[in-house]
C-alpha cells in the first residue's frame, strides 16, 4: 500500500514532528474476524522498533490466541527487539493474589493496572485485547477511559479491540477500523480449526 498523504494540515499549533510522534489511540471493532489478530500484528512492528509492548487480554478463556502469545513471547525473549509482557485475565492477573469475585471485578482490576502502567509509562504499545466488552457492559466507565487516555503522558500508543466499542471511545480514537464479516466458514457448517482460529 502506498504511503498516504494527509488531505489537510491541521491548525493545532504542532510541528509535523510533534504530530508524527503523537500517541495514538486505535480501535479495532465490528463483527468480523481479525480485530485481535491485526492488533497482535501491530505488536510485531512495535517489537521491531525495540518498544516495550504490554498485552492485556480482557477475556475469561485463554484458549484463543495461544499462537500469538507464544510468538510474541519468543520475540520478546529473543533480545532482537522490544520486550513483551503478556497479562491474562483468564488465568488471573499476575499482580492479583486472590481470585476476583466476578468477571466484572477482574476487568476492573485489569483496567486499574493499565492506569498504573500508563502513569509509569511502562510500555510504548498497549494491546487492550477485548477491552471493548467491559466498557460496553458498563463494568469500566468509558468516560474514565477516555479521560485517562487523553491525559496520558509520553508517547504511549494504545490499541483496543472488541465488538461494540462505545461511541465515546470511537469519537476520541485517532484510528478506527471496523471489521465486517462478509463470509465465514461457520455459516457453511465449518468448525474452527487449529492453526487458523487459535
* Binding to its own copies in span 26-55, by CB under 8 A: 26, 28-30, 32-34, 36-42, 44-49, 51
* Coil, helix or strand at residue 63: coil
CA-based radius of gyration for the chain: 17
Q: Candidates 66-74, 87-95, 99-107, 136-144: pick the segment binding its own copies (CB under 8 A).
A: 66-74
- Among 66, 121, 143, 153, interactor with its own copies by CB under 8 A: 66
By CB under 8 A, is residue 24 in contact with its own copies? yes
What are the angstrom distances between the C-alpha of 24 and each of 125, 144, 150, 172?
Answer: 9, 17, 10, 10
Per-residue 3-state assignment (H helix, E strand, C coil) for 64-80: CCHHHHHHHHHHHHCCC
Q: Judge whether 13 and 162 are in contact, CB under 8 Å.
A: no
Q: Candidates 98-106, 108-116, 142-150, 178-186: pick the segment binding its own copies (CB under 8 A).
A: 178-186
By CB under 8 A, is residue 176 in contact with its own copies? yes
Quick one: cell of 84? Answer: 513483551
The residue assigned the cell 500500500 is 1
Distance CA 107, CA 114 (A): 11
Between residues 23 and 112, which has the closer beta carbon with respect to its own copies?
A: 23
User: How many CA atoms lie less than 13 Å away from 76 in the CB half-sphere?
Assistant: 18
CB atoms within 10 A of CB 33: 15
By CB under 8 A, is residue 68 in contact with its own copies? yes
**Listed residue (179, 174, 169, 170) closest to 157, CA to CA:** 174
Number of residues that bind its own copies (CB under 8 A): 84
By CB under 8 A, is residue 167 in contact with its own copies? no
Q: Candidates 74-82, 90-98, 111-119, 138-146: pick the segment binding its own copies (CB under 8 A).
A: 74-82
By CB under 8 A, is residue 3 in contact with its own copies? yes
Footprint of its own copies on residues 86-145 (CB under 8 A)?
Answer: 124-125, 130
Q: Candidates 97-105, 115-123, 139-147, 180-188: pick the segment binding its own copies (CB under 8 A).
A: 180-188
By CB under 8 A, is residue 62 in contact with its own copies? no
The residue assigned the cell 476492573 is 108
By CB under 8 A, is residue 181 in contact with its own copies? yes
Amino acid at each position: 500500500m502506498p504511503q498516504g498523504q494527509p488531505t489537510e494540515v491541521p491548525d493545532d499549533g504542532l510541528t509535523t514532528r510533534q504530530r508524527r510522534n503523537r500517541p495514538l489511540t486505535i480501535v479495532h471493532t465490528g463483527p468480523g474476524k481479525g480485530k485481535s489478530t491485526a492488533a497482535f500484528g501491530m505488536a510485531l512492528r512495535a517489537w521491531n522498533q525495540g518498544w516495550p509492548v504490554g498485552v492485556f487480554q480482557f477475556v475469561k478463556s485463554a484458549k484463543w490466541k495461544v499462537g500469538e502469545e507464544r510468538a510474541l513471547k519468543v520475540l520478546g525473549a529473543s533480545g532482537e527487539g522490544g520486550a513483551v509482557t503478556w497479562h491474562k485475565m483468564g488465568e488471573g492477573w499476575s499482580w492479583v493474589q486472590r481470585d476476583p469475585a466476578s468477571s466484572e471485578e477482574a476487568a476492573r482490576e485489569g483496567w486499574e493496572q493499565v492506569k498504573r502502567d500508563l502513569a509509569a509509562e511502562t510500555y510504548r504499545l498497549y494491546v487492550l485485547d477485548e477491552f471493548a466488552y467491559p466498557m460496553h457492559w458498563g463494568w469500566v466507565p468509558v468516560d474514565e477511559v477516555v479521560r485517562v487516555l487523553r491525559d496520558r503522558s509520553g508517547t504511549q500508543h494504545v490499541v483496543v479491540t472488541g465488538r461494540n466499542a462505545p461511541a465515546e471511545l470511537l469519537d476520541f480514537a485517532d484510528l478506527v477500523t471496523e471489521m465486517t464479516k462478509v463470509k465465514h466458514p461457520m455459516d457453511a457448517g465449518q468448525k474452527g480449526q487449529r492453526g487458523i482460529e487459535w
